[in-house]
Amino acid sequence: MHLTMDEIARLSPSERLSIIDQLWTSLREADVPLSPEQQVELDRRLASYEKDRAQAVTWDSLKALLAGRRA
């Protein structure tokens, strides 16, 4: 199946997001190459997370904290 840009533009945002999701979930880890710099950064972030796991906050907690600052 091949969609033209006009056909894609006629899809609703929800339909386009659904297609993006289907494409993304169809990929394997090996299908998404990382540059050496990206791999180093991911390794650094994972090590930082593992080291400071007890201080980590959930996304919901962070959103609540930020929402409270705006109020």
Task: Please tell me the predicted confidence (pLDDT) of residue 42.
Answer: 95
Task: Please tell me the predicted confidence (pLDDT) of residue 71.
Answer: 67
Per the structure, the count of domains in the chain is 1
Spans of the chain below 70 pLDDT: 71
Task: Please tell me the predicted confidence (pLDDT) of residue 29.
Answer: 87
If one counts every other C-beta atom within 10 angstroms of the C-beta of residue 52, the result is 9
Task: Please tell me the predicted confidence (pLDDT) of residue 23.
Answer: 94
Tokens of 5: 């840009």
Distances in Å between the alpha carbon of 55 and those of 47, 52, 61, 69? 14, 5, 12, 20
Amino acid letter, residue 25? T
Per the structure, the complete domain to which residue 20 belongs is given by 5-70
pTM for the whole thing? 0.50
